[in-house]
């Protein structure tokens, strides 16, 4: 934790950066990500909006991830590796640990294996600031569509929302009961952070908790544009699957679906106090919408 404890010339330079208006904090949780990490870091460095600091927490990697991180921290003053003794705590706790440690105006969340399009920060920031101008400094979260790609970054689908049929329910109340928000597309404001941290111990995944808690106390805004190349590979913590219209397929996986719904209901209910019957019918109605 040397960065947090020792006053150095490097820390002083970072503090100067933090004084700038509309400072962006990018939070990156890594774990054995050496295969794709450099591409992700390069895409963040290439952003058109430059007023950001990237904070990295590693979850106990035993490959070359730390070596790559230190190569970038040695080269760039605005890339910070926050070392600690927390290992194998999982992505949700890693992201919330970072969120607690860092103070900024806005917070982005990055996965280790994606590639950000160059205007991701600029477009996302304009969206959330426009909504702050409209609604005030209430808790806000903005999230975008994604381009689905394979390991070599070849396109699978230009829109994750169309690929999974999420787009049919984006503008509805079902956002409170569905895991629609993809973490690597999220930006939240400081008010959103304050609300989300109240529920951090209930998180299954950071994106679900951020979306649900902020939707209950503020607003969640979809950006109808793909701003990330969302890489699908065998090591994905959570991958995606193309929407399958087949009822046979649904019934064959009924046990898994039930368990997933039960887990997500328990999580949703712990935050939003949702009646189980209402939750069930919201899911059914959302399923019907997604089929059209």
Residue 232 domain flag:
yes
Supply the pLDDT for residue 291: 53
112 — pLDDT class (breaks 50, 70, 90)? very high
190 — pLDDT class (breaks 50, 70, 90)? very high
pTM over cut 0.75:
yes
Average pLDDT on 209-231 reads 92
Q: Which of 151-155, 170-174, 235-239 shows the lowest per-residue confidence on average (mean pLDDT)?
A: 235-239
| 90 pLDDT higher than 50 | yes
Residue 114 domain flag:
yes
| 93 pLDDT higher than 70 | yes
Average pLDDT on 190-206 reads 89
- 257-281 burial string, b = 16+ CB within 10 Å, else e? eeeeeeebbebbeebeebeeeebee
| 210 pLDDT higher than 80 | yes
| 154 pLDDT higher than 60 | yes
CATH number at residue 153: 3.90.550.10
The residue range of the domain holding 105 is 2-241
Residue 104 domain flag:
yes
Look at phi and psi of residue 165 and say left if phi exceeds 0, alpha if psi is from -120 to 50, else beta. Answer: left
Average pLDDT on 213-217 reads 88
| 2 pLDDT higher than 80 | no
Residue 261 domain flag:
no
Which among 165, 155, 163, 169 has a CA at the least distance from the CA of 222? 169
Residue 34 domain flag:
yes
Average pLDDT on 121-146 reads 97
Supply the pLDDT for residue 54: 98
Residue 62 domain flag:
yes
Residue 159 domain flag:
yes
| 242 pLDDT higher than 60 | no
Question: Crossing angle for the helix pair 65-75 and 37-45, nearest 10 degrees?
Answer: 20
Q: Which of 76-85, 265-274, 282-291 shows the lowest per-residue confidence on average (mean pLDDT)?
A: 282-291
Residue 252 domain flag:
no
284 vs 174 pLDDT, higher one: 284
- Provide the domain count of the chain: 1
Output the average pLDDT for the chain: 83
240 vs 222 pLDDT, higher one: 222
């Amino acid at each position: 934790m040397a960065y947090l404890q020792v006053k150095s010339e490097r820390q002083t330079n970072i503090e100067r950066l933090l004084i700038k208006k509309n400072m962006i904090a990018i939070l990156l949780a890594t774990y054995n990500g050496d295969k794709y990490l450099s591409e992700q870091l390069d895409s963040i460095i290439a952003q058109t909006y430059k007023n950001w600091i990237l904070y990295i927490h590693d979850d106990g990697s035993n490959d070359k991830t730390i070596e790559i991180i230190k190569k970038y921290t040695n080269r760039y003053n605005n890339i910070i590796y926050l070392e600690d003794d927390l290992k194998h705590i999982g992505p949700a706790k890693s992201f919330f640990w970072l969120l607690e440690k860092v103070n900024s105006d806005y917070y982005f969340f990055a996965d280790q294996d994606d590639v950000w399009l160059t205007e991701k920060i600029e477009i996302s920031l304009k969206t959330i600031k426009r909504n702050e101008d409209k609604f005030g400094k209430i808790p806000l979260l903005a999230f975008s569509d994604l381009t689905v790609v394979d390991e070599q970054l070849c396109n699978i689908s230009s829109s994750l929302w169309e690929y999974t049929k999420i787009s049919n329910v984006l503008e509805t109340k079902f956002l409170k009961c569905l895991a629609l928000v993809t973490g690597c597309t999220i930006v939240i404001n400081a008010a959103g952070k304050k609300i989300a941290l109240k529920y951090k111990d209930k998180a299954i995944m950071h994106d679900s908790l951020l979306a649900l808690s902020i939707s209950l106390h503020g607003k969640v805004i979809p950006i109808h544009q793909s701003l990330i190349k969302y890489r699908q590979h065998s090591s994905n913590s959570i991958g995606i699957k193309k929407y399958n219209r087949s009822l046979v397929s649904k019934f064959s996986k009924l046990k898994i679906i039930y368990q997933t719904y039960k887990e997500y209901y328990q999580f949703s209910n712990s935050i939003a106090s949702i009646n189980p019957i209402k939750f069930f019918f919201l899911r059914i109605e959302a399923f019907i919408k997604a089929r059209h």
